[in-house]
Structure 1
Amino acid sequence: MSAPSGRLALVTGASGYIGGRLVPQLLAAGYRVRCLARTPEKLRDQPWRDRVEVVRGDVVSGEGLAEALSGADVAYYLVHSMSGGKDFVRTDAEGARRFAEAAGQAGTGRIVYLGGLAPEGTELSEHMASREEVGRILLEASVPAVVLRAAVILGSGSASFEMLRHLTERLPAMTTPRWVRSRVQPIAVRDVLRLLVRADELPEGTNRTFDIGGPEVLSYAEMIQRFATVAGLAKRLIVPVPVLSPGLSSLWVGLITPVPPSVARPLVESLRHDAVMAENDLARELPDERRLGFDEAVRLALRRIDEDRVDTRWSSAAWPSAPSDPLPSDPDWTGGSLYTDRRARYVDGSPESLWRVIEGIGGDRGWYSWPLAWAARGWIDLAVGGVGPRRGRRDPERLRVGDSLDFWRVEEIIPGELLRLRAEMRLPGPAWLELRVARLEGRTVYCQRALFHPRGLAGHLYWKAVTPFHGIVFGSMASNIAARAEEDAEVTAGT
């Protein structure tokens, strides 16, 4: 049985790691696709944007759900508070209930949800328990639900894969917590996506969970050693120790890998117990091609990283700014005080050469200003529970709205003209950094603007404390970007 072409599929979480990859798979399978997004602007630069319908809405508030679900044959629920928060358990449950109720009222034929794989009868972490509860809420609703449960997902850009990759690459020898002995059944991301699409082929009325996984069961320590072999690295020395709690483990992971402690903790907690399929019924319901083994999945993921073809990343889903926060481009600043730092430099080169430097900022290229100062700011942020300095870039040359960029987020990009970044580090108020290409009297000008909206006394004191360093940090940044653009212009002219 196959799903008829032209069915309408609603995708929530389309700006996230799985959702962003599922949309083109559904389109390729012949579905019409609609996306529900709290911030539709985040999807603007996706290569598939002009082929889908986007509805502004939110599963927790219920805004836009009726419109998004209207006429939907299948709805993919890919929403989860990975980075937590004070009330994430309640928020996740409330979002699932509202979504299920709205789907029932809209006459949606099926809900498909991707949850986590956990053994029955085991005390689960708060995050894993929350994902299980979301699955139960959807299964108990009036609309039939298919809940797929997966353990570690292997794919370029996934948080699980980046954690595994960087631990292996950066630590020839490591003392590790006991969870490295846990048995895991990892699965390639391309297999997860195929099964999500094919879940709509199940018989009408199917309402149950299915465990999904790859063909092998490995301990996390074995995954590290197998990864090292595939990557051409020497065998790693692993010494398990009993003293690292999940909290300490997540801090350790945050220091070594790009995954900050807030995201690493639920990943680590999910490894405290075995994550192995208890059944493989979906393979009988939907016979298909062989699922990829661990080595092949790792090899494909590394190849995409080497070729700079990482379509989505785990960090794409996080955007902690509140919708009510005004933007610095608003004609009237309605949020109170606004501190600014402006810099401008003439550039002896074309606007195109300057834009190439601007769009290539961050990641391995750095920020053209006092690398130790930027690194120190990132490590301080990591120490207080922020995202830290290691997230890097999705693509070394191109940016799109919603991309994470070290401890910034691309909030706006006008190719050739403007790059606006919003800070995701922990600050006593929202902050932005704007990099702009301008023309003045026939010359190229680099314009740079840092903005900070203080919240409370702490915000004002923070700006006063860092202002003396702006001349060094922001001033040298402007000068070095202009100089680099001039160098690039000379190289281009010479070729």
Structure 2
Amino acid sequence: MNTPAPHDAPLALVTGASGYIGGRLVPALLDAGLRVRAMARHADRLEDRPWRNRVEVVEADVQDPASLEAALDGVDVAYYLIHAMGGGRSFADRDRQGARSFADAAARAGVGRIVYLGGIHPEGEELSAHMASRKEVGDILLAGAVPAVVLRAAVILGSGSASFEIMRHLSERLPVMIAPQWLRNRIQPIAVRDVLHYLVGAARLDGAPNRTFDVGGPDVLTFAELLQAYARAAGLPQRRILTVPVLTPRLASHWIGLVTPVPTGIARPLVESLIHESVAAETDLRALIPAPEGGLTSVDRAIELALARVRELDVATAWHSATPAGAPSSPLPEDPEWSGGIVRGDERQRPVDASPETLWAVLEGIGGRRGWYSWRLGWISRGLMDRLVGGPGLRRGRRHPDRLAVGDALDWWRVERLERGRLLRLRAEMRVPGQAWLELGVQEREGGGSILHQRAIYHPHGLLGDLYWWAVWPFHGIVFGGMQRNIARAAEAAPPAPRRTADADPHTDTDTDTEDTA
């Protein structure tokens, strides 16, 4: 239940509310009882956020000082979460100008505190352009008239974090890597949930501290060891990492842009930062903000949390639903398209000249003796292959010829979700190098008839899983296209099914998954 914050609760301004940290910080602040004003250069980018109706949205740009007046009016604590990305000197100039404009506008508005999230860096070393700019922004805010709390973090572990996505895709796709020597530098990663804990706590720090605080998780390891930790959590074999002295950050970032979906323009400044060790030099903030309940999150646990939603298949983007993931470690709808792990899919929809009830009767009767309305020889051959490698094949059939329930075995599938008359989701139990689902849905069509939704989803397990997907991809048109076409024909030829007004079946409206029983 979302209880509004009291009118006298502190008002927090979150800049960069459409970004990775900002989008997760807004609900965390609301849950902590603060009022929130979310700032973005384009307010319409926040329209689909699940917290939109609980916050005030303001359109402003730190490069336009005049626009900051209304954004900062009445604000108690302002979160500065804006970073320019790119090459050359222009991004550093934008960072510098934006920080100065914001610090000056905050002073004029009487803001009580600024909170900034930067990066941990060693003292006394020449920093990369990216890291030097982050440091300069923190210094500008600390030199302003408004007290500033500058939190410095290393790699942030959570689905959607650019650093985490680079690690994810390198581990998933490269069983053997040739990497630069600085992959052996030490880092102190921190889970995104712990970063948010400290950011929220900074809003209510006693006194007016104007200083930096290093924030890190409980583990110190190298980036190479972090790649191995990911592989363990994902159930992949140990990665073979060969380090060489000749890979420059520029070459490494181009290689990452080729191997992973993370754009080179984002990868390069992050890769350049890895030439520095990123270990907390002090832990003073722990005395001011108690650790989260249960303590700080270990690297292994943080990776597990980030992977959890992919393993469960976050189907929040399904045609019939658009609810957000719940945990800050999870991918959110506003995250970049390249975040959240590799998920392959084949999605189709088709109008059907039959009532939703008639179409649903065909869907619920699929499999077993009726088959899969597709390339029969292909399904039989795949079933035999599955049995040869120890899988169930097609021999299990189905429990009842016309009705399904959550947990039922259905040939090589298991019924994972069932919303009778609307949605059937099947999880594959065949032997494949990954996880696979088949989702079939019914939607009433305006003007009569219905719409058949069909979605095949596959989460590959490592490089072998990806190769498997592309090996069978040429057959998708035959298998999935034929299935959709023949299901539609069967529904159009079937006698009309009675319209249901209610359903007393205990499995009709099941919203939770059940454990396998076979």
Scaled by the length of structure 2, what TM-score is found?
A: 0.62
**d(CA) in 2 for partners of 1:85, 1:350:** 60
Where does residue 332 of structure 2 map in the other structure?
312
Where does residue 302 of structure 2 map in the other structure?
297
**d(CA) in 2 for partners of 1:155, 1:47:** 19
Q: 1:301 corresponds to which letter in structure 2? A: A
Tell whether the 8 Å contact from 1:149 to 1:209 is kept in structure 2 after alignment. Answer: yes
Deviation of the 1:85 alpha carbon: 6.6
Distance 1:227 1:443, change over 3 A: closer
Where does residue 44 of structure 1 map in the other structure?
47
**d(CA) in 1 for partners of 2:355, 2:247:** 52
Alignment equivalent of 1:23, drawn from 22, 26, 45:
26
Where does residue 249 of structure 1 map in the other structure?
252
1:386-407 Cα distance to aligned partner (Å, 9 max, x none): xxxxxxxxxxxxxxxxxxxxxx
Deviation of the 1:185 alpha carbon: 0.2
Q: 2:143 corresponds to which letter in structure 1? A: E
3-state SS, counterpart of residue 114 of structure 2:
strand
Q: 2:223 corresponds to which letter in structure 1? A: Y
Where does residue 238 of structure 2 map in the other structure?
235
Where does residue 165 of structure 2 map in the other structure?
162
1:60-97 Cα distance to aligned partner (Å, 9 max, x none): 11243111111111000000013457611111111111
**d(CA) in 1 for partners of 2:224, 2:217:** 17
Residue 108 of structure 2 corresponds to residue 134 of structure 1: no
**d(CA) in 1 for partners of 2:34, 2:195:** 18
1:146-182 Cα distance to aligned partner (Å, 9 max, x none): 0000000000111111111111111111111112111
Tell whether the 8 Å contact from 1:185 to 1:217 is kept in structure 2 after alignment. Answer: yes
Greater Cα shift, 186-195 or 160-169: 160-169
Q: 1:118 corresponds to which letter in structure 2? A: H
Superposed CA RMSD in Å reads: 3.6
Q: 2:310 corresponds to which letter in structure 1? A: I
Tell whether the 8 Å contact from 1:347 to 1:485 is kept in structure 2 after alignment. Answer: no
Alignment equivalent of 1:274, drawn from 254, 273, 277:
277
1:329-370 Cα distance to aligned partner (Å, 9 max, x none): xxxxxxxxxxxxxxxx99556999xxxxxxxxxxxxxxxxxx
Alignment equivalent of 2:125, drawn from 122, 127, 137:
122
Could you tell me which runs of 5 or more consecutive residues in structure 1 were left unpaired when the two chains were aligned. Answer: 319-344, 353-438, 446-480
Distance 1:232 1:43, change over 3 A: same
**d(CA) in 1 for partners of 2:215, 2:201:** 13
Residue 267 of structure 2 corresponds to residue 288 of structure 1: no
Distance 1:350 1:109, change over 3 A: farther
Deviation of the 1:304 alpha carbon: 2.3
**d(CA) in 1 for partners of 2:208, 2:73:** 19
3-state SS, counterpart of residue 65 of structure 2:
coil
Distance 1:16 1:351, change over 3 A: farther
1:96-147 Cα distance to aligned partner (Å, 9 max, x none): 1111111101100000000011111111111111111100010000000000
Distance 1:294 1:139, change over 3 A: same
Aligned length: 354
Deviation of the 1:487 alpha carbon: 7.0
Q: 1:238 corresponds to which letter in structure 2? A: I
Residue 264 of structure 2 corresponds to residue 261 of structure 1: yes
Equivalence map 1:148-227=2 (5 Å): 148-227=151-230
Larger Rg: 2
Tell whether the 8 Å contact from 2:96 to 2:137 is kept in structure 1 after alignment. Answer: yes
Distance 1:300 1:488, change over 3 A: farther
Distance 1:175 1:68, change over 3 A: same
Deviation of the 1:56 alpha carbon: 0.9
Distance 1:200 1:440, change over 3 A: closer
Distance 1:160 1:300, change over 3 A: same
Deviation of the 1:260 alpha carbon: 1.3
3-state SS, counterpart of residue 287 of structure 1:
coil
Where does residue 36 of structure 2 map in the other structure?
33
Q: 1:138 corresponds to which letter in structure 2? A: L
Tell whether the 8 Å contact from 2:37 to 2:58 is kept in structure 1 after alignment. Answer: yes
**d(CA) in 1 for partners of 2:210, 2:489:** 64
Deviation of the 1:491 alpha carbon: 8.9
Could you tell me which runs of 5 or more consecutive residues in structure 2 were left unpaired when the two chains were aligned. Answer: 1-5, 315-324, 339-348, 357-444, 452-479, 498-518
1:14-59 Cα distance to aligned partner (Å, 9 max, x none): 1100000000000000011001111111110010001000011111
Greater Cα shift, 184-193 or 284-293: 284-293
Equivalence map 1:445-464=2 (5 Å): none
Tell whether the 8 Å contact from 2:355 to 2:448 is kept in structure 1 after alignment. Answer: no
**d(CA) in 2 for partners of 1:204, 1:231:** 44
Q: 1:304 corresponds to which letter in structure 2? A: R
**d(CA) in 2 for partners of 1:346, 1:194:** 46
**d(CA) in 2 for partners of 1:99, 1:317:** 30
Where does residue 361 of structure 1 map in the other structure?
none
Equivalence map 1:65-76=2 (5 Å): 65-76=68-79
Tell whether the 8 Å contact from 1:13 to 1:37 is kept in structure 2 after alignment. Answer: yes
Tell whether the 8 Å contact from 1:156 to 1:313 is kept in structure 2 after alignment. Answer: no
1:414-447 Cα distance to aligned partner (Å, 9 max, x none): xxxxxxxxxxxxxxxxxxxxxxxxx9998999xx
Greater Cα shift, 43-52 or 219-228: 219-228
Q: 1:65 corresponds to which letter in structure 2? A: L
Tell whether the 8 Å contact from 1:5 to 1:29 is kept in structure 2 after alignment. Answer: no
**d(CA) in 1 for partners of 2:486, 2:276:** 54
Q: Percent identity?
A: 55
Greater Cα shift, 202-211 or 40-49: 202-211
Tell whether the 8 Å contact from 1:40 to 1:55 is kept in structure 2 after alignment. Answer: yes
**d(CA) in 1 for partners of 2:67, 2:353:** 47
Where does residue 319 of structure 2 map in the other structure?
none
Scaled by the length of structure 1, what TM-score is found?
A: 0.65
Equivalence map 1:319-468=2 (5 Å): 347-348=351-352
**d(CA) in 2 for partners of 1:351, 1:126:** 62
3-state SS, counterpart of residue 166 of structure 1:
helix
